[in-house]
Amino acid sequence: MRRDPEKTYEKILEVSSKLFFEKGYENTSLQDIVNNLDGLTKGAVYHHFSSKDDILDAIEDKLLVENNPFKKVLVYSELTGIELIKKAFLLGIEDQEQQYYNKISMKIWRQSEKIQSPKMIAKMIEINKNILAPDLCKIVEKGIKDGSVDTKYPMEISEQILLQINIGLLLAISDITEKELTGKIEFISEWTKNMGVDFLDKELKEKLKHVFMEYCE
């Protein structure tokens, strides 16, 4: 029986995510993945991926790039820049697939006090800088035009917001208290407001806090 390579590829990602989530990344072997692929051989997996790391890489690509909320919100052309930024963060928080991925990431990061998956972090920094920040920046620039945003630094602020939320907050989370988390979120809210991008309102702050505390559980 011939299999559709694209379906096989997606199936490998699906099974691997599930195992990484349930058993943790370190405790999942390539053989475990093969065992859950209904008769696929290790060779078939190697046809698509060179290692377990490579699979993780593809999962990240899929979720961080395909689910890019700053692209998704562009359909709401009637909203102002600042409304679009809020909407994008809400989408990120409310997207089930994104949440599932974030929980896998947490599992990987929390396996020890040391950062367990440096490649994942490096990748996140890269995606932040090269994909998400330029997209967020477009929305910030729209906000400057429609008057809902007031900054001389659209790109710098975009990079910075993402660095703080995706790296500063996500990485801090493994040993953070609710009070510390609240402080970090209040801080981001205050400096972005001071710098003319007032997107972190009460609703979004509460939701961010809620979703981050959930990762800690």
Does 131 help bind its own copies (rule: CB under 8 A)? no
58, 156, 211, 216: which one contacts its own copies (CB under 8 A)? Answer: 156
- Identify which of residues 65 and 172 has a Cβ nearer to its own copies in the complex: 172
* Residue 164 touching its own copies (CB under 8 A): yes
Check binding of 191 to its own copies (CB under 8 A). Answer: yes
Please pick, from the candidates 163, 211, 213, 216, the single residue that binds its own copies as defined by CB under 8 A: 163
Angle made by CA atoms 64, 183, 106, in degrees to the nearest 5: 35
Residue carrying structure tokens 């058993």:
23
Is residue 194 a contact residue for its own copies (CB under 8 A)?
yes
- Binding of its own copies by 115 (CB under 8 A): yes
Pick 8 or 182: Cβ nearer its own copies: 182
Counting contacts by CB under 8 A, is residue 195 touching its own copies?
yes
Binding residues for its own copies, per CB under 8 A? 114-115, 118-123, 125-126, 129, 153, 155-157, 159-160, 163-164, 167-168, 171-172, 183-184, 186-187, 190-191, 194-195
